[in-house]
């Protein structure tokens, strides 16, 4: 294992935590990231500083790596496919491609028998109005690509509200209109699948968002066992249909009758799984490295209940206070600049019986 190298496309905080987990297992890591001195470079073995679609950089990464993964879902699919011609890439580029387009993603989930909100493709202002009318005047309009943390969205709640310029205001790009889901809770499942097809999943977390950004994740979720089992079963179905290898994060809406609807999936380690770093023997990051490197998957049992809180923007200025709190695990991402809405770190508070 000490002679093996894991290539990671992307040098943000998720790449950083993957590199740390890989090192604990004896693997070398190499990062492909255009930003010099990125968070992952502080802990990885080396960095290729180049664009994600740079042909020479991709060739170098493929030659130097035994297996390649990625830390975010907006990696160019063509780049992932080019890498896969020479070196195994996990999760598979097919999962990356589906997740990058909300219409393809929702369609695929439905094909897997997994429930979602109602949705319509929207490619003009006329289609905005038509889709909204079909949904009774309320819905959420989203860009199909490149949206994250609530960006690239517009919500319509009042059937009488106008939609003028909604299409142009979101860039005049392909959009999707989704029905507003009357959810009572949001949860996520972090699950992993091995090359042999073994699947494990962590306890679903209950998530709270603010301005489209995850603020807190609590485990246990405090919901009916049948609801949690349904979410885990849906995540397992998704992994099997994609012939997936690695960790996935699947977000769900919980309805008042306990049913779940999938919102989206991320083909990577996930923010709502950061709590596993503190409350489980094996974190989602180590689990991902185990999966992509063909090592045995670990049990996902937790030893403590917990609450994970993201440190967003100026929250990082409260670091001293967090460090003084008992049973609290602090992780700072090493980003040089604090900006509003930027994830600077997270803390996980362990809740002892």
pLDDT at 212: 85
Q: pTM here? A: 0.94
Q: What are phi and psi of 154, to 5 degrees?
A: -140, 130
Q: What are the backbone angles phi and psi of residue 231, rounded to the nearest 5°?
A: -65, -45
Q: Which domains occur in the chain, in start order? A: 5-89 (3.40.50.20), 118-178 (3.30.1490.20), 185-351 (3.30.470.20)
What are the structure tokens assigned to 221, written together?
Answer: 């979720």
Say what percent of the chain tops pLDDT 90: 88
pLDDT digits (tens, 9 = 90+) for 288-330: 999 999 999 999 999 999 999 999 999 999 999 999 999 999 9
pLDDT per position as a tens digit, 90-123: 999 999 999 999 999 999 999 999 999 999 999 9
Digit-coded pLDDT (tens) for 40-75: 999 999 999 999 999 999 999 999 999 999 999 989
Residue 88 gets which letter from DSSP? -
Residue 2 confidence (pLDDT) above 70: no
Please give the full DSSP string across 245-295, using - where no structure is assigned: -EEEEEEEEE-TTS-EEEEEEESS--GGGTTHHHHBSS-HHHHHHHHHTTP
Nearest to 165 by CA among 125, 118, 115: 125
Helix intervals (H) in the chain: 13-24, 55-64, 77-84, 93-99, 102-111, 125-134, 166-169, 225-241, 276-279, 284-292, 319-324
């Amino acid at each position: 294992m000490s002679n093996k190298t894991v290539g990671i496309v992307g040098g943000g905080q998720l790449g950083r935590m993957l590199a740390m987990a890989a090192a604990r297992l004896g693997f070398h890591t190499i990062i492909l990231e255009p930003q010099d001195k990125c968070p992952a470079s502080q802990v990885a073995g080396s960095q290729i500083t180049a664009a994600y679609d740079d042909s020479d950089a991709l060739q170098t990464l493929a030659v130097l790596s035994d297996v390649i993964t990625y830390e975010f879902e907006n990696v160019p699919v063509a780049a992932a496919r080019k890498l896969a011609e020479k070196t195994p890439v996990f999760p598979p580029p097919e999962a990356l491609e589906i997740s990058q387009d909300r219409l393809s993603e929702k369609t695929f989930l439905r094909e897997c028998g997994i429930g979602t909100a109602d949705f319509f493709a929207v490619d003009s202002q006329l289609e905005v109005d038509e889709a909204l009318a079909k949904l009774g005047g309320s819905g959420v309009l989203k860009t199909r690509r490149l949206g994250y943390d609530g960006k690239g969205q517009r919500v319509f709640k009042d059937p009488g509200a106008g939609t003028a310029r909604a299409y142009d205001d979101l860039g005049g790009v392909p959009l999707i209109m989704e029905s507003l889901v009357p959810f009572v809770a949001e949860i996520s499942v972090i699950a992993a699948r091995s090359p042999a097809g073994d699947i494990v999943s962590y306890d679903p977390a209950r998530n709270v968002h603010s301005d489209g950004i995850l603020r807190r994740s609590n485990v246990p979720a405090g919901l009916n066992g049948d609801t949690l089992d349904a979410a885990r079963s849906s995540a397992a179905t998704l992994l099997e249909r994609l012939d997936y290898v690695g960790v996935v994060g699947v977000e769900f809406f919980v309805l008042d009758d306990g049913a779940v609807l999938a919102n989206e999936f991320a083909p990577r380690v996930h923010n709502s799984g950061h709590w596993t770093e503190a409350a489980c023997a094996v974190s989602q990051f180590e689990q991902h490295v185990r999966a992509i490197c063909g090592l045995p998957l670990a049990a996902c049992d937790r030893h403590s209940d917990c609450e994970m809180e993201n440190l967003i923007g100026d929250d990082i200025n409260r670091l001293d206070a967090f460090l003084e709190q008992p049973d609290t695990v602090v992780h700072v991402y090493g980003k040089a600049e604090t900006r509003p809405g930027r994830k600077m770190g997270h803390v996980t508070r362990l809740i002892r019986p």
